[in-house]
Amino acid sequence: MKGGKPERTMSQELKTHFAALGGFVILAWGLELFDLFILKRGFYLRGGLDQYGIIPRNLIGLRGILFAPFLHSGLGHLIGNTLPFITLGWIIMLRETSDFFVVSIISALVSGLGTWLFGAPGVHIGASGVIFGYLGYLLLRGYFERSAIAIAVSLFVGVLYGSLIGGLLPFQNGISWEGHLFGFLGGIVSARLLTSDRRSVGG
């Protein structure tokens, strides 16, 4: 029992994990396939769904903070984001399912607002800002929490996805490094907030 409520079984937790991660993936893939093979091919919507991404310093571009994580510039872009989204997202869920949603929201907002304020001209789309948020959260959670498990997870993620850190630097054309950088910062903010919250609850 936790707080007077029965604990969820492992099976129930895994079903929730599958629903959350699978729901995002299905939505992102469904939108991209619809965009590629219906809208763009049929010329039903000039620019397709990509126009709903983040457009820096343009008021209408603020809507992209909500829509951009679900939109991608092609199947290659989407495939490249799918595996790290599932892997890092699930690692976060293994601790607390609710952490996944908190980190996702904070990372998306910080990444989106940072890109809107400081991003290069153009339309910024993709889930990579959120993915870098997951990376920042998992890498820094060990530092803030100082527990053996959290540190071990941080080291494991560093070995597994540490090479992504290069995506924070402005050296690749056509890559929204601003979204990556601010997403990463959003993940660090999430790690700090969630660690502080647990310490407060624990007395």
pTM here is: 0.92
* Cβ–Cβ under 8 Å, residues 181 and 102: no
Does residue 159 surpass a pLDDT of 60? yes
What are the residues whose beta carbons fall under 8 Å from the beta carbon of 20, sequence distance 6 or more? 89, 93, 97, 100, 101
- Nearest-angstrom CA–CA distance, 134 and 107: 8
pLDDT band for 173, please (50, 70, 90 cuts): confident
8-49 residue pLDDT tens: 788 899 999 999 999 999 999 999 999 988 887 766 666 789
116-152 residue pLDDT tens: 999 999 999 999 999 999 999 999 999 999 999 999 9
Arithmetic mean of pLDDT over the chain: 91
Q: For the chain, which domains are there?
A: 10-201 (1.20.1540.10)
What are the residues whose beta carbons fall under 8 Å from the beta carbon of 100, sequence distance 6 or more? 20, 89, 92, 93
